[in-house]
Amino acid sequence: MNIECIYDQPALLGESPLWNAAEKTLYWVDIEKRALHGFDTTTQKHHMWPMPTEIGCIALHASGGLIAAMRHGFASIALPSGEVTMMNTVLTDADGVMFNDGKCDRAGRFWAGTKDLLEQADIGALYRLDAANNLVEIEKGFAVSNGFAWSPDNKLFYVCNSPSRIIYQYDFDYAAGSITNKRIFAKLPEDSGYPDGVTVDSEGGVWNAHWDGWRLTRYLPNGKIDRVIKMPVRRPTSCCFGGPNLTTLYVTSASTRLTANELKQNPQAGCVFAVEVGIRGLLEPEFCKGTL
């Protein structure tokens, strides 16, 4: 398996990789450094934009630029200026939590989840933001919500509760933007780390980055493990498809809270990688733009 490091300046907590096919650019965030990154895969040029708060996740915005879940609310980010405009939608009860991971569904709604700042208690929740700026709480009971993804036919939704090592699967109602029938899709063994970011390919395969697991796993739609890709970093955090054929899996990683000895064991911790997997992914949906 060809694993290429495409950006070697380590993030503390690299997350939310996002492919912009029109620009041939990969975007991602560093939550703890409060930064947005962009890497033009054609010119090999990199740019970093400082953010006013922690930035948990990003998605493409139909009007241009990005939408982001910041620490306690949402913002639009103009590009290439990086100007941040906070939206008037904020958490009404933000004690002990902050936004973490999230993505857009194919109806153009932005989903984002919160996490317990101590990463212990199930006080986080899942939220859905629509084009009219309506924020709806969808589901409670997450210590660290991670890995939002939808099946190609829009009938299934995947999300992780990372400390419990569980990837959940729900039935998804595309028209209503609702989830039902929660069940366990996969539970990681203790020696496999914790489930972090998730993406789904065109065949319905579910790709998961294992925090503290040194690997990516592709699950078949029935939950069986199809393949495991060993990564050169202990904490791969998330993944997305991109590249000219959508067969490149871009992978972010983290270096935060690793000891000096642990960093010696994986000196590329926090870098961004490109993995050619030979399976085609799906284009990322845009906020305020339905695709069906």
Where helices occur in the chain by DSSP H, the ranges are: 260-265
Nearest to 241 by CA among 69, 47, 26: 26
What is the CB neighbour count within 10 angstroms for residue 177?
16
Residue 130 annotated to the active site: no
Task: Name 2's Cβ contacts closer than 8 Å, sequence gap at least 6.
Answer: 275, 276
Nearest to 185 by CA among 155, 162, 206, 216: 206
Choosing from 30, 105, 196, 201, the catalytic residue is 196
The first and second tokens of residue 196, run together, are 């972090």
d(CA 147, CA 144): 10
What is the CB neighbour count within 10 angstroms for residue 261?
7
Contact status, residue 121 vs residue 110, Cβ threshold 8 Å? no
Q: Please list the active-site residues.
A: 196
